[in-house]
Amino acid sequence: MAGVSIRQVNKLYDGAVHAVKDVSLEIHDKEFVVLVGPSGCGKTTTLRMVAGLESITSGEVLIGDTVVNELPPMDRDIAMVFQNYALYPHMSVFDNMAFGLKMRKFARAEIQARVKQAADILGIHELLHRKPRQLSGGQRQRVALGRAIVRHPQVFLFDEPLSNLDAKLRVQMRVELKKLHERLGTTAIYVTHDQVEAMTLGDRVVVMKDGLVQQVGEPLELYNAPANRFVAGFLGSPAMNFVEVRLAERGGALWAEGDGLRIQPLPEQAGRLARLNGGRATLGVRPEDLRIANGSDPEGLCFEADIEVIEKLGAQILLDTRAGSHTIVASVEPTVRARVHDRLRLAINPDRLHFFDAANEAAI
Amino acid sequence: MIEGAAWRKWLFFYLPLAVFVIWLLFPFYWMAITTLRPDGELYRPWNAKNYEPFWTANPTLDHIMLLLEETLFPTWLWNTMLIALVSTLISLVCGVFAGYALARLKFPFAGSLGTGIFITYLVPQTLLFIPLADVIRNFRLGDTPWALILTYPTFLIPFCTWLMMGYFKAIPKELEECARIDGASRWKAMIYIILPVAVPGILSAGIFAFTLSWNEFIYALVFLSSSEQKTVPVGVVSELIRGDVFYWGPLMAGALMGSIPVALVYSFFVEHYVSGLTGSVKG
């Protein structure tokens, strides 16, 4: 077992496309780290550089204490699971799983024992003699996992391994992956574009955009205290509401005034916003931090909005409302009775207000 | 599929199919029937009373006997087989490796090299045989099987390279990457993973190359002169057409027997062959 250090790594394609920019990450032993971001953000390229499938333009990658920049993939003691499974189509499941061990000249008995053990863990014992084309998507994914775990590598690399599965199976495999990691304790780097996978699987989550790391942290840390507007909008479903506001001091208090709403932040937050007095900022509030106002809510935390669409999801109701020129989604109790075109008064949970700098989008 | 009443299916499916089948198979039928027909019937004038062009009442093996006993046909068959097999083998080995390199390895000018190889395939043989004849003479290879074994790859290698390049590109590169992470070098990943997966493509290229060299005419005509060195297409044409006399029976017998090995090769590999041409490797 070993940690992985990525130090100031850059990737340039043909000297022109800068796919990964100065990425630095310390991944500890036994940790499950998820790289997440929209397509083209450099997450897969970063993973492939750790795997040795892409050359590293500058910077260093260490697995354990060894700099692996120049090591071929076979000498890095890693295993990788691909999005399309990449099972060898002409080999049986057993041979697929045994291939890596055969290449490393393991004894026959050892190979048998390891494949059997992995098959038991994954529940694919009865599939060992089938060919990949005779398997369903979920079974193929298990075989691909089995092929990775028989080798007892130092690090697992996952490249969107669940993307080709249907929604239900994806949820199931997500749980199994989590259990598998708890059982084996192998360091894992997992790439996905799906924020739910990232939040549920990762001990820590790395959000990337345009080749840059935006924020690294535990899932709830990222959710509750996003470092910038991108992270705030990327994590969470439905996404955070954003309203462009102007900050102004009125009657000794700082107000955030936008089209259709006026909000008075708590004094502690107002203190941090004071330097922007008279300037612009972006106010962010998650749908679940909005509720229907009652009489006791202070004026500075409420605003009026018209319901445009009602989405009844069962456990909650999403109200797509319009306040001024902004569309604001609120997630409310399923017991709330509301109709389209109703005008209602929404209250904001003041502890959960976010402000972002209008210029550099960093959290304030 | 065609929907609706049964007559629609007959009119729009079976009838056109029958027309195609007859159109395609008639030359072979003509070849076979001419082989079996005695000379008396073959040279009967069209306005004779008992003229019967599509059938024979007295089948005979005379033409085949004449072909086997009075010409060097068995030798030609052997020559053709040897030349086609060896030149196919050479072309396949080169084509597979070159195709792999062009599809997978990143090296400078890979793209233009691929195009260059394709362009050499486009140079017509009817032009190329002139300089090649000079080469053959300088190496003193004229009138030996080597003249053809070494010149056929000039058009077979580009052909195999292009076919294999397309096939290798269709194989997901993750297969190979996974093998390399699993502990295989690039060479081993190719031998254990990529080549077995590419077998349908290799077979298609092989069958095509074999057929092209089996049927090749112009180089064989130019580079071989003595009767015992000739291949079937050249031997049959040069020995059984004397001036303006066409020995139709033995000619057709030679054509028929010359096409049997190719037909056998095709029918033997037909499944692989079709999946090779239509590509696609499913995981």
**What confidence tens digit (pLDDT) does each residue in A37-69 have?**
998 899 999 999 999 999 999 999 999 999 999
Distance (Å, whole) CA A158 – CA B270? 40
Do B29 and B92 fall into the same domain?
A: no
* B84 contacts: CB under 8 Å, gap ≥ 6: B210, B213, B214
Do B27 and B85 fall into the same domain?
A: no
| Domain-terminating residue out of B60, B89, B106 | B60
Do B13 and B142 fall into the same domain?
A: no
Asked if B174 and A82 come within 8 Å (Cβ–Cβ), the reply is yes
Asked if A133 and B282 come within 8 Å (Cβ–Cβ), the reply is yes
**DSSP letter string over A7-58?**
EEEEEEETTTEEEEEEEEEEE-TT-EEEEE-STTSSHHHHHHHHHTSS--SE
Any domain includes B196: yes
Distance (Å, whole) CA A49 – CA A39? 17
Any domain includes B75: yes
pLDDT of residue B278: 53
Counting residues of chain A whose pLDDT is more than 70, the rounded percentage is: 100
Distance (Å, whole) CA A157 – CA A189? 5
Any domain includes B104: yes
Distance (Å, whole) CA A26 – CA A3? 8
| B272–chain A nearest CA distance, Å | 14
Distance (Å, whole) CA A182 – CA A179? 5
Do B11 and B126 fall into the same domain?
A: no
Comparing CA positions, the residue from A299, A289, A227 lying closest to residue A263 is A299
Alpha carbon distances (Å) from A198 to A3, A194, A217: 19, 6, 11
ipTM attached to this prediction? 0.83
CB A143 within 8 A of CB A132: yes
Measured from the Cβ of residue A188, the count of other Cβ atoms closer than 10 Å reads: 26
Any domain includes B120: yes
Mean pLDDT of A188-215: 94
Residue A196 CA, distance from chain mean position: 6
Alpha carbon distances (Å) from A283 to A280, A301, A356, A358, A362: 10, 13, 6, 9, 12
| B204–chain A nearest CA distance, Å | 18
Comparing CA positions, the residue from B173, B167, B172 lying closest to residue B198 is B167
pLDDT of residue B281: 47
Residue B133 CA, distance from chain mean position: 23
**Nearest-5° Cα angle at B141, B135 to B144:** 140
Any domain includes B272: yes
Adjacent-strand bridge partners of A255: A248
pLDDT of residue B15: 94
Any domain includes B42: yes
Give the mutation candidate from A80, A139, A189 for the B interface (greatest B CB count, under 10 A). A80
User: Could you tell me the CATH number of the domain that includes residue B264?
Assistant: 1.10.3720.10
Residues of chain A neighbouring B193 (CB-CB closer than 8 A): 88
pLDDT of residue A267: 84
Two tokens at B147?
A: 């003249």
Q: Which residues of chain B have pLDDT under 50?
A: 279-283
| Domain-terminating residue out of B45, B60, B75 | B60
Angle in degrees, 0-180, between the axes of helices A108-122 and A137-149, rounded to the nearest 10: 140
Do B25 and B149 fall into the same domain?
A: no
Residues of chain B neighbouring A73 (CB-CB closer than 8 A): 177, 180-181
The partner residue sitting opposite A99, judged by closest CB among B174, B182, B281, is B182
Do B138 and B276 fall into the same domain?
A: yes
pLDDT of residue B216: 93
Do B154 and B212 fall into the same domain?
A: yes
What is the number of helices (H) and of strands (E) in chain B? 16, 2
Mean pLDDT of A62-82: 92
- Length of chain A in residues, anyone? 364
Do B276 and B231 fall into the same domain?
A: yes
* B151 contacts: CB under 8 Å, gap ≥ 6: B132, B136, B219, B223
3-state helix, strand, coil in chain A (%, to 5): 30, 35, 35
Do B156 and B199 fall into the same domain?
A: yes
Measured from the Cβ of residue B172, the count of other Cβ atoms closer than 10 Å reads: 17
A214: phi then psi, degrees, rounded to nearest 5: -90, -40
| Domain-terminating residue out of B14, B29, B60 | B60
DSSP 8-state secondary structure symbol assigned to residue A256:
E
Mean pLDDT of A226-255: 90
Any domain includes B1: no
Do B78 and B211 fall into the same domain?
A: yes
Report the domain count for chain B.
Answer: 2
Any domain includes B190: yes
Q: What is the pLDDT of residues A353-362, one digit of tens each?
A: 999 998 888 8
Asked if B183 and A100 come within 8 Å (Cβ–Cβ), the reply is yes
Residue B85 is part of which domain span? 65-280
Judged by a CB distance cut-off of 8 A, whether residue A73 touches chain B is yes
pTM for the structure as a whole: 0.82
Do B140 and B19 fall into the same domain?
A: no
Do B189 and B217 fall into the same domain?
A: yes
Distance (Å, whole) CA B54 – CA A42? 72
Query: A238 preceded by cis ω (within 30°)?
Result: yes
Comparing CA positions, the residue from A239, A274, A240, A268 lying closest to residue A256 is A274
Judged by a CB distance cut-off of 8 A, whether residue A156 touches chain B is no
